[in-house]
Chains A and B, each alone.
Chain A
Amino acid sequence: MMGKRIGDRIIKFASLFFASVILVLVAGIVYELIKGSDRSLATFGWGFLITSTWDPVNKVFGALPFIFGTIVSSIIALIIALPLSIGIAIFLSELAPKKVRIYVSLMIEMLAAVPSIIYGLWGLFVMTPFLQTRIEPFLGKHLGFIPLFQGPPLGVGMLAGGLILSIMIIPTIASITRDIFNTIPTLYKEAGFAIGMTRWEVISKIVFPQARSGMIGAVMLGFGRALGETMAITMVIGNAPVISASLFSPAYTLSSVIANEFTEATSKLYISSLIELALLLFIISMLFNAIAKLLIKRGRFTQ
């Protein structure tokens, strides 16, 4: 009896301790990021966010091209990955025969386990030449009247960055969405069939509405991964702090610039500016996470 109580108390304190470690870690990261960027904060203030110059020689630093590059490349990734992932999830949970289901699921999970440097290498040596010689000239020729598809086909650039990110987030979104579809009880799907719904109507009218909040969560997880991804996108996005309407133009992301320039940052202001970029990336990720939570909450049907 006594021993049991002591066990309960140990468990209680131990779990409380572990839980508070998380809080301390997050608070510590935020504190260090703010402290590290104090020089940059003091020098540039809010102007840092809207300045598009990044000039280490003259010590003028602005974050706008990197914020632009990070968010736009992630949005492109999402636009490409979302329909594909939902299609994969529908196939795996509703349509595929059991054997196919097992093998395809395995492949998708393997895709998620591939190290990002391998995606980067593949992107640089296989994907970008293909983009440069085939896809971008084709798009420029037929859709060139849209600013998105103007400019010289370089291969590396925003389109390449978005594409490589989309490939990397498909496994995340597809496998979570598939798991959510699988949790929808058969009895609701059968009720749909019983009133004469086709398979597509069951998916769109029964499965989707019930899976909605979970799907938003899956999408936001994928988006979060895209925002923070560093290695692969650094290799294919072109690494130039440019804000351009064209998808063919090179760009730069917050994570890429930090990874590329940390070792060569000589002045204290330079280092401080890079840390402020890290702080911004942290805030952007948190912001999207919070929006996701809000959407999930609102997406729930009043029960």
Chain B
Amino acid sequence: MAKKLIIEHLNAWFGNVQALKDINLDIEENGVTAVIGPSGCGKTTFVRCLNRIHEVVDNAKVNGSVLLDGENIYSNTMDPVLVRRRIGMVFQKPNPFPSMSIFENVAAGIRLNGSKKKNEIADRVEKSIKMSALWDEVKDKLYKSATALSGGQQQRLCIARTIAIEPEVILMDEPASALDPISTARIEELIQQIKERYTIVIVTHNMQQAARVSDYTGFFLLGELIEFNKTSDIFTNPKDKKTEDYITGRFG
């Protein structure tokens, strides 16, 4: 398989606190890569560096390189806005835009990308919501506020919003951690369905989830990447003692 993202010597800071230390890692195209580790290990910061949203925060700094199809997203000629259109993101807390309807939430990103024809937008909204397995639940209330949906529905709407801009990579930052078990199962099912089309990087603190959904797993600890391998190998045959301790539940 081809390498979609190649991360080289990635360091990140908040002010003077270094959150990531020299991360090197390759993300396979059309695979699901899980990022696991205890709270505060830098896994969220890591994915936020992959679509240049880390730098939106005051005092946040990054260096190193992230190659998307061989092109460094941190090079001076790259526009972060365009990077984010190619690398979408789903956040930990469902965050549909509260001032917009369900339809508008999904359409907002499509409009930014330039397509203006009404029926074209409507088609893409419908397609995206269908792909997120939400269509049957919202088709009768597309013009109602998105905040009236349940947490799980809101999160699937956020996935639809991300799919709608047709990114190549989707980053998911603990997408199910705020959801109940049934909604979590639906999100995981959804990941399986859409992974043929996208390259997915998912942060999770739930090791079972990582084992269920991912092909590759990276274990982070205190801002460092301790081990990266096929998910089956990490969970059955970890090479590093710290990885073993973590996945067997000795800490974290």
Contacts of B161 on A, CB cut-off 8 Å?
Answer: 191, 195
Interface pair B147/A193, CB less than 8 Å apart: no
Residues of A contacting B: mostly: helix
| A266 within 8 A of partner (CB) | no
Contacts of A188 on B, CB cut-off 8 Å?
Answer: 95, 97-98
> What's the Cα separation between A185 and B93 when bound, in Å?
12
Known contacts: A187-B95, A193-B53, A195-B108. The answer to whether A303 contacts B148 by CB under 8 A is yes
Contacts of B85 on A, CB cut-off 8 Å?
Answer: 195-196
> What's the Cα separation between A127 and B91 when bound, in Å?
52
Contacts of B17 on A, CB cut-off 8 Å?
Answer: none
Known contacts: A188-B98, A209-B99, A301-B99. The answer to whether A194 contacts B145 by CB under 8 A is no
Contacts of B144 on A, CB cut-off 8 Å?
Answer: 302
> What's the Cα separation between A50 and B238 when bound, in Å?
89
* Binary interface encoding of chain A residues 203-225 relative to chain B, with 1 for a CB under 8 A from any of its CBs, else 0: 00110011010000000000000
Which of B59, B95, B145 lies in contact with A303, CB distance below 8 A?
B145
Interface pair A195/B165, CB less than 8 Å apart: yes
Interface pair B98/A196, CB less than 8 Å apart: no
> What's the Cα separation between A195 and B110 when bound, in Å?
9
B180 to chain A, nearest CB (A): 20
> What's the Cα separation between A194 and B84 when bound, in Å?
6
| A55 within 8 A of partner (CB) | no
- Report the nearest B residue to A202, measured CB to CB: B56
Interface pair A191/B97, CB less than 8 Å apart: yes
Contacts of B113 on A, CB cut-off 8 Å?
Answer: 196
> What's the Cα separation between A302 and B101 when bound, in Å?
10
A-B contact pairs, 16 of them (CB 8 A): A97-B58, A98-B58, A187-B93, A188-B97, A188-B98, A191-B91, A191-B96, A193-B84, A194-B84, A194-B91, A195-B88, A195-B108, A196-B165, A198-B81, A201-B112, A302-B144
Q: Which 5 residue pairs are nearest across A and B when measured between Cβ atoms?
A: A209-B99, A196-B85, A195-B109, A194-B89, A187-B95
> Which residues of B approach A to under 8 Å, CB–CB?
51, 53, 56, 58-59, 81-82, 84-85, 88-89, 91, 93, 95-100, 108-109, 112-113, 144-145, 147-148, 158, 161-162, 165
> Which residues of A approach B to under 8 Å, CB–CB?
97-98, 185, 187-198, 201, 205-206, 209-210, 212, 301-303
